[in-house]
Structure 1
Amino acid sequence: MENLKLLIFSFLGILVLTILVHAQTQSGFISIDCGLPENSAYTDMKTGINYTSDVTLTETGVSYNISSEYNRDTLEQPFLTVRSFPEGMKNCYTLKPALGHIKFLIRASFMYGNYDGQNKLPSFDLLLGADVWDSVELSDASTILSKEIIHEHHCFSIRDWMSVQQPMIMKHTGKFKDDDCDRIWSPYTRSNWVTVSSSFNISKVFMYQPPSMVMQTAAMPANGNDSLVIGWKPCDSTLQFFAYLHFAELNQSQANNPSRKQEVYLNDYMEGPPIVPPYLNPFRLPILDFSGEKIEISIKKLRIHRCRPSSMPLSYMYQNNFYNCYPIKKMTTYEVKRNWQGDPCAPVKFLWQGLNCSYPDYTSPRITSLNLSSSGISGEISSHISGLKLIQSLDLSNNNLTGPVPDFLLELPFLTVLNLRGNNLQGSVPAGLAEKGKNGLLSLSLDGNPDLYLSTPSTKRKTIAVPVLESFLAVSVLVIAALSVMWILKTRSQGITRNKNNRSFELKNRRFSYSDVVRITNNFERIVGQGGFGTVYHGNLDDHTQVAVKMLSLSSMQGDKQFQTEVELLFTVHHKNLTTLVGYCDDGTNMGLIYEFMANGNLESHLLGLEYLHSGCKPPIVHRDVKPANILLNEKFQAKIADFGLSRIFPVESITHVSTIIAGSPGYLDPEYYKSSRLTEKSDVYSFGVVLLQIITSKPAIRKFEERAHIIEWVSFMLEKGDIKNVVDPRLQGDFDMNSVWRAVEVAMACVSQTSAKRPTMNQVVIDLKESLAIEIARTNVSHETESRSISLNLGSELPPLAS
């Protein structure tokens, strides 16, 4: 599938006059005069800007000229024509930007001009993709209203900019030629602030840095003991903001003076260490991912504050599913006569005809059903359908489709209904589809195609093999994504047995004496691991089964309680991605656990079920110590969770949290749990997010002596720069699908949100990682095992369809 994204602007209502789409550099912009006849490009004499017609960018609307009474000499030429949308609830402009992680400034300007002679002012909503951007309400016919937004094309983030200089040298709102972001800067003064400035230029270092003229001005409190405070009340307390505060020292005599230290606070919480701004060099402090009913940023204990937050972008993130738009839009080659404009799934009231979508809590809508039955379409089945990776139902019945049934339908892992009856398809149905239909995994309807026949299904299921690389530092995102999916795939739920008599009988039969342990380990000959519990030894049972024996150290911080917890849990909870407990030793002071042996060590040494513990066990279990060292790999590189000594079972299923003593590993500990001692399932989600970031980057959770010590800080910094490529382990040499990586990183960053309410459930994480894996599989299109070491994913049975 051609990897092209659509940038779609939706206008619900009447008109739009001029649109500016602007990339990071001043030269890379498109200026569109809405309503201008086709092939009528011109250069505006007043501004020198080149304008082009909008005819090729929209499928609807009617062009008009404004009323002559408003056609004054001072009016810029783009406002002389308008485009009106008298029909339909949703009308769109569609642009095709360049590929890659690019930011666009989008500025839309509106004027009524009584173009229709009715003197009736319009009002309408403005959308970017599926998200409401703003509302347009004009106060009179001559008013020009402009709306701006920063659209980050690849990762789909929107940034509203509050570009403020406190105070400015200029007296009026304006722009600067050296501002790459083309922001409009407005004066912002306070009675308790005093203006200071410098004639020396400030060097440009950072992205989003304000222009030099802005950086040359600063403010100081009129009272030297006061703080500088910027505050606002968001219209929506759930919006997430990203602020950038830019500092520079303008007084050479105070350069590097320790007394110039300043502390920055966000709602009374200090953001990082004290700051000493360098002389005539910018320093930028990012404050990432915050929200609230009231926001207050203050700079305290300073005598002169240099270039206060001279640019403070207020940001919130959204994730738009361009996989929805592009494949469907390309299918207009079928000439389907439907009002298909804008985002297919959102807003919900504008859902495209013939589609159904799912609306997960933590991700954007996904197309799950496409019905083109009796639509008069002809030709072969469009290859663009392969881009609908989460589709569950596809109905192309009663049309005039010809050609073969394509193999790419096998690459849709969640497809459970396929209706092709009543066409003129020819040839053999792919064996994989026929087999899935025979096994009840796919509802397959083929009658009414006289030249179509079923081939004999293969008795051996097709699998997709994902190679495992030898060196852990070269483990690819595809392999790890496969591992992640495999260990968290849910099989059938198994309740925890609460019958104490049965459990006691089971425990008794699996008890080993200390002398047995000595014999099994050959007198503790081979050490294979070390942890907080104690030392782990390799051993062999009488039937030559390899085992790992973990003996409790007398100096261990863990004791009888953790030992009992782990024994009881692992004897009652069974899952293919949880380590199997063979037995235990409780002989006086000698305590040990005997596990199945994991030939390839743990995930940490090579560089996932949690979902089962949270959702498959009733009541749920929280592990409390998820980290790479507690995720073991067997000889087939199948991952299994281990070390349940700190796990907690919720008393009843309806309880959402329990209060506990803080326990866990540094770098993986949920900050909310640490502050409140309230343990929830989302505490495991946070730890898993850290593990996922480690898998993607091959970096440890904490890097001592680094400026950004925690992996979350480092990844956030890299994403802030738009540098996703250097987030991924460089040993992969770029051999991965960028969209798959973005999806995985988005999942990981959602998991490590500071508050549990913003984190997805493990069930949602499973769904999102399946999607990431499906994208990578579609790229590589691996159809057979490529090496002796492989992981087989049977997409027919192991990846169940996504529930709508």
Structure 2
Amino acid sequence: MKILKMLHVLIGCLVLGVTARGQKNPGFISIDCGAPTDYHDDQLDIYYKADAAFVDSGTSMQVSTQVIQQQIKNLRMFPDGTRNCYTLTLDEGKGNTYLVRATFWYGDYDGKNQTPSFDLHIDVNYWVTMNSSSWIYEEIIYTPPRDYIQVCLVNTGSGVPFISALELRLLDNSIYQINSGALVTNWRYNLGSINSYRHPQDVYDRIWNNITFSGGLSSVSNTTAVVTSTSNDAYKVPPEVLMTATQVQNVTDPLSLLWSSNNSTAIWSIYFHFAELQLQQNHVREFTVNVLDDFVGTILLENLKPVTLASSPVAGLSLNLTIKATARSTLPPLLNAVEIFNVAQLPNPPTFLDDFNAMYDVKKTYGVIMASWQGDPCVPTRYSWSRLHCNNDSSPRIVSVNLSSSGLEGLIATSISNLTAVVSLDLSNNSLTGSVPDFLAQMPSLKVLNLSGNNLSGSIPLTLLKKKADGSLLLSLDGNPSLCQSDNCQTSNVKLKTKGIFSAPIIAAMAAVPVLILLGALALLWKIRRRQIQNVTTISTTSNSIGGSARILRLSKNRPFTSTEVTRITDNFRTIIGEGAFGKVYFGRLDDGTEVAVQLLMVIHHRNLVSLIGYCKEFENMTLIYEFMFNGNVQKNLSGLEYLHDGCKPPIVHRDLKTPNILLNENMQAKIADFGLSKAFATEHDTHISTCPAGTPGYLDPDFGIVLFELITGHPAIIRSPKGSNMHILHWVTPLIERGDIQSIVDPRLNGQFSINSAWRAVEIAMSCVPMMAVQRPDMNRVLSELKECLTAEISSERSQRMGNSKRRSESFRMTSIDVDIAPSAR
């Protein structure tokens, strides 16, 4: 028992020891990518963490257990998505300077022996392209504009990106001057040494690679410790690095070093580190430093005291460093260490911070998993998040969010209210619960809000309803059964039941049912017995609107039936199997045993329906005769006109409502045509009542919203490009709505002469009529009412504009008169 207690104490001490060692690295973030657990690297005295807390994508892989360096035994690869990012949260915050280092070793981990090539980004800007099969690291010295840094691996189509380690080190702000850009490390050399150093010798964990030269250059060293307590101590170059140097043999010889780059636009920044190692009494070591043809400075060394000299940025394909002794120097020039950087430009500004934070909160709150939702939401544009649109401001803003059908659950996140530039917000067809929050009404730019198809409950904030009423907000809330959308907050669902037979109520508001004309013809929405009748022929009988009781017209098998036959096959209309919009549905049986459903069509008459004048049935010739419509159809007369219409009773489903079927008489009154039984069912060859689509491509249910969009935009349902490709009008208009671009939506032939509010109101009405699920579409009475309000608003706007023009003309006249009156006395 004592041994067990002792072991517990020892284990506790070890844990505390590891934790304490991890805390010895303030300002460090050290990530071993793909590692299964955290650990302490005793050689480096750095505590490394596994990367799971810093990245939410990718796959961990093991490269080899035989390598000496722990940080390259594992890696994380990113086979999915174009951009995958690590997010490093900065305890010290923005405005500080950091060294960021990414380490890579391919090691043929995938057995393909094909080294991938990919790009590395620092936040929203390009950093470097990776393409090496050997162990390599890339460094950048960077001052982030935010309290985080994102390091992103970008798939450029040349293999799967991967990373072995990612490290961040806080630097003293005074040592590297980077202005608005960044410094990408090319080389950092410990000259004249056979050893390389990093942490713990370098408190910033910079890696100093050893290098020696021949050809007139020699190495010098000193075992005496270099004094680092001078004014330049902020650089904190390790004494071990400064205790060796490279020098020329003769005082008159220059020390010249040459590097080259394959980048013709390279801009260089060089940091020279010096320390005197051999100064004797009465000797002087003084020299000048040049980079290319630019003078950098003159250095006079004191014994064992470090000096750092930084060059200004210089451009050139090659880099020539020249150190020459001055005339009074008795010792040749030397160089202890050098850092060579490329100056990186950072042209891309990040997304506006509130927008960035809001979208990351949405991502976290709802657990959104989308391959593109990595890094900055808007920047760079080619890697922006799907379902978002951003503008091109100096600090890009998110202007639309479409998370329809994204599996969102729970309350509407309050962070959404921070998206103050969003014009269009679509959260439809999810599983959102709770009430509709009032903060949605406080979003200053919001013009389109779609919350339909969720499980929201309670009442709608009055502020939202007010915005909807005044036309400043297109609000869609249908498909939330527990959401109060009326004064008494009562909803009713009617289900017809008869002896095991259920009839779905005919909803006049099915998105396909036009409210523009509330029109006409026959659709039958009902469910037959649970034992579905197969192979059924449908027979409908009708009374025409002009007074006679001429029965029959068309049969799905192209066979006419007399009223006597209909009475006989239904056994005198004995068995009711459903209730349609126009009358009851009866069960029948033909002479050959075929089971049929027979619907009796009641008299249908409305001023906005093309009247049936008569018909002809003579042997094989069957003809319908309608009233003549002087002005043809709406499709040929689209000029931004708006048409309103009262509903017919009972409401019916046309099944092929389109602009060619909306005719205009000599008074430009709209009337519906071509709503015979031939449009009630899928095809004339069907032998049973079907819920399959029927009608014209582009207008298939729901069709009324499409007609409205044709009227608003002046475009046909199917937009054909000169190249021969086709686009549905909904696919064309939706991105414009999300961007809030009403000018591009409305028919250009109006030349912008319309009320913005009423135009948006019309778009809202059209959008409310296009959801595929009927329960998500408003009823026709509501749509008709809103269309009337829209027309009233437009008329009011035109009246105000005319009054304004008249007032301006009057003021202009008065000003002219005053000028005339004043003119004589002015002379």
Q: TM-score, normalised by structure 1?
A: 0.43
Q: TM-score, normalised by structure 2?
A: 0.42
Instruction: Give the greater-gyration-radius structure (CA).
Output: 2
